A and B are shown apart, each in its own frame.
Chain A
Amino acid sequence: MTPAFDPLAIAFLGLMIVGAIAALSVRDLMAAVVVFGAFSFFSATYFAILGAVDVAFTEAAVGAAITAVFFVTAIFRTDRGAD
């Protein structure tokens, strides 16, 4: 089992934090959805590094694919700006 202080795990944790801050601070909602998908992939990779392959699988399928499609479909009903 990989220890929690694995440098690879730390790197992906940092990428998750960067991705989350970027998804919150971006003004364009469509760009926010894309960055949120990247955040989902980072967290899926982090779960896989920790050995939780099943959770990583679910996160990659639901968080990155389906949720992004639903967000994009919902954004098509709005005027795309965050303000």
Chain B
Amino acid sequence: MNSGFGSPALDAASRLMTPFMLMFGAYVVVHGHDSPGGGFQGGVIIAACLILVRLVRGRAAGWVMPPETAVVLLCTGAGIFAGVGLLGPIFGGHFLDYSALPLTLAPAEVRAAGSLAVEIGVALAVTGVLELIFDVLVEARDDA
């Protein structure tokens, strides 16, 4: 698994698909509050893109995310989620209560900004977790 499959057709196809997959993942994350999708689905799409490159080109791709980075990523995501959620109680509302945030915007825009921040956190956490699962599976095979 560390060497990758390496066929020229797979290589060309993955090079063609990768930017669109990343763009679509970012689109799904950013538009999650008013259309189907959201942080979880967008994070899964971004992680699928990273895993695709890893599968096709192996460690030579230069896109290898070490397990430590994946753990940092998922902890950052969970921290963003909890931090934005705890801003509600800090400013006198409930947990994840976006209307309590002290922003000088219209109420709908405050809600959109709050859910955008939460979804970015969820997407980071999901990407990190899926990368970590894939990495653990591959490494366990190499040790055997």
By beta carbon, the residue of chain B nearest A77 is: B141
- Judged by a CB distance under 8 angstroms, whether B80 is at the interface is no
Residue numbers in A under 8 Å from B45 (CB-CB): 61
Q: Which of A65, A73, A74 has the most C-beta atoms of chain B within 10 angstroms of its own C-beta?
A: A73
Interface of A is mostly: helix
Shortest C-beta distance, A15 to chain B (Å), equals 23
Shortest C-beta distance, B84 to chain A (Å), equals 21
**Per a CB cutoff under 8 Å, which of A53, A61, A73, A77 touches B48?**
A61
Number of A interface residues in the complex (CB < 8 A): 14
Residue numbers in B under 8 Å from A57 (CB-CB): 28, 36-37, 41
Q: In the complex, are the beta carbons of B130 and A66 less than 8 A apart?
A: yes
Q: In the complex, are the beta carbons of A65 and B137 less than 8 A apart?
A: no
By beta carbon, the residue of chain A nearest B42 is: A61
Q: In the complex, are the beta carbons of B141 and A69 less than 8 A apart?
A: no
Residue numbers in A under 8 Å from B133 (CB-CB): 70
Residue numbers in B under 8 Å from A66 (CB-CB): 44, 47-48, 51, 130
Q: In the complex, are the beta carbons of A65 and B48 less than 8 A apart?
A: yes
Residue numbers in A under 8 Å from B36 (CB-CB): 53-54, 57
Q: In the complex, are the beta carbons of B137 and A74 less than 8 A apart?
A: yes
Q: Which residues of B contact A (CB under 8 A)?
A: 1, 28, 36-38, 40-41, 44-45, 47-48, 51, 55, 130, 133-134, 137-138, 140-141, 144
- In the complex, besides A61-B44, A62-B44, A73-B137, 11 extra interface pairs with C-beta distance below 8 angstroms are A54-B36, A58-B44, A61-B48, A65-B44, A65-B48, A66-B44, A69-B48, A69-B51, A73-B138, A74-B137, A77-B137
